[in-house]
Amino acid sequence: MSDTTRASVLWRPWTPITQQAQSLRIVEALGNRVRDEDGKWYIDAISGVLNASCGHAHPRLIEAATRQMGKLVHYDPMVTTHDPAETLATRLADILPGELNETVLLNSGSEATEAAMRIALQYWRNCGEDRNRVVTFEAGYHGSTFLCQKLSGLPFTVSEWPEPFPIDRVPLPAPASGMQTQEAADALVAGFEQALRSGPPAAAVIVEPLLGLGGCVVLPSGFLSRLRALCDEYGALLILDEVFCGFGRTGRMFGFEHETVTPDLVTMSKGISGGYLPLAAVTATSAIKQSFLSEPLVQGLRYGHTTGGHAVAAAVANTVLDVIAEERLVENSATQGRRLLDGLGQFTDSPLVAGVRGLGLVVALEATSVEAGEAIAETMADEGVMARHERGVIRIAPPLTISAQETDQIAQAVGVAIGRGAPAAPLRRSSSAERRERTE
């Protein structure tokens, strides 16, 4: 089978929506860099799948996985328990605020959303209240299962099939670049209040602390606290989706720590295991779990997966928490994030750049057109920096282990792209497999 055929029988997720013009086959990753099959190294400015927060091939994480694999790979989480999962649940309870003490372990961010929805809606049944409605952001993203896609109003998730329960999606009152004003903050809060006030009582509000796939939208300061107050006023549970922001990505351990907010449920994945193994978690307050233990007992938690809380993944996650603390990765995320924003700030006058925004090591460079965005990402790749381009927005989210020198290299690669100016013709470069075949 030829290289091109081999590449084409692999049906990649979300393609062609996420496909960049330059399609590469990656064969190796070390520290903050990845190497393609032609031997070229790139700074990994997308952290694997936005999850390699401790960098690649970290010896401590490899050692933790290998050790656990030789001891106990996994065992039925419905019938038994094991130390790595118990330790992780305990440590999450320690680092999360308030009464967020009760953790269900899963495999993916989407599963965490599904579980959080199941828990939130069932909670109200347990309390004898008929609340089904969920309020969320139109530009939010909470995963790719059928239910998760229904929560989102982003163009690539919209489908014709009916919703499993009523969902109200609040639009952004301003473009992403204009979300930092007091006016935008007030309009956003008013939008959520309107959604909570209209219709039957809401069961829950689910939001990300920073809208990742919705265009890297940094929410106005104070918004989450005001949303918490609204949820209290209307009796809805507040679910914060920390799948992308959690574990240091925004320069705080959790995205909601930029404010003084305690949610009722938190969903986590990506950085929790540094991307070394699939893992996710939902942590709920003790009061929520308590409602599942009271009569009628048959209700219980109707959710779980065979490999949820996999022992090897949980062992890695426990070591990720050690690495984050010992290597001061949350602090580095804040420091390098500021440095990157400063570095990219010098390009805001370019006719190719509509704006630059970010929080910690989630930085977005918005191009003035999709073509300009594609051209910038292409040149960045040529210059040895792997970034992600989506609908005109270039996402830069390197491992939290990134150095100042590498941060500067990312900004320099953007500078080269800007220096080249607007693309003359639509770009359509071949994949590395196609290039190799042509030379064979």
Interface with ligand PLP by CB under 6 A: which residues?
108-110, 113, 141-144, 208, 212-213, 241, 243-244, 269
DSSP letter for each residue of 49-85: HHT-TT-BS-HHHHHHHHHHHHH-----TTT---HHH
Contact 44, 398 (CB under 8 A): yes
Q: How far is the CB of 287 from ligand PLP (least distance, A)?
A: 24
Ordered alpha helix ranges (H), 271-310: 286-293
Q: How far is the CB of 244 from ligand PLP (least distance, A)?
A: 4
Please identify, using beta-carbon distances, which residue of 244 and 254 lies nearer to ligand PLP.
244
Please identify, using beta-carbon distances, which residue of 27 and 49 lies nearer to ligand PLP.
49
Q: How far is the CB of 109 from ligand PLP (least distance, A)?
A: 2
Please identify, using beta-carbon distances, which residue of 143 and 274 lies nearer to ligand PLP.
143
Please identify, using beta-carbon distances, which residue of 213 and 411 lies nearer to ligand PLP.
213
From CA 393, how far away is CA 356, in angstroms rounded? 10
Q: Indicate the SS3 state at residue 324.
A: helix
Q: Indicate the SS3 state at residue 126.
A: helix
From CA 34, how far away is CA 27, in angstroms rounded? 8
Q: How far is the CB of 210 from ligand PLP (least distance, A)?
A: 9
Please identify, using beta-carbon distances, which residue of 47 and 318 lies nearer to ligand PLP.
47
End-to-end CA distance of the chain: 14
432: Cα separation from own chain's centroid: 28
Q: Which of 59, 37, 32 is nearest to 47 (CA)?
A: 32
Q: How far is the CB of 148 from ligand PLP (least distance, A)?
A: 7
Q: In what order do the strands lie in the sheet with 388-390?
A: 353-359, 362-367, 393-396, 388-390
Please identify, using beta-carbon distances, which residue of 216 and 372 lies nearer to ligand PLP.
216
Please identify, using beta-carbon distances, which residue of 240 and 411 lies nearer to ligand PLP.
240
Q: Nearest residue by C-beta to ligand PLP?
A: 109
From CA 121, how far away is CA 134, in angstroms rounded? 9
Name the token pair of 113. Answer: 């959303």
Q: How far is the CB of 38 from ligand PLP (least distance, A)?
A: 28
Please identify, using beta-carbon distances, which residue of 92 and 433 lies nearer to ligand PLP.
92
Q: How far is the CB of 107 from ligand PLP (least distance, A)?
A: 8
From CA 180, how far away is CA 177, in angstroms rounded? 8
Q: Which of 173, 295, 288 is nearest to 236 (CA)?
A: 288
Residues present in the chain in total:
440
From CA 331, how far away is CA 324, in angstroms rounded? 9
From CA 274, how far away is CA 289, in angstroms rounded? 28
Q: How far is the CB of 143 from ligand PLP (least distance, A)?
A: 4
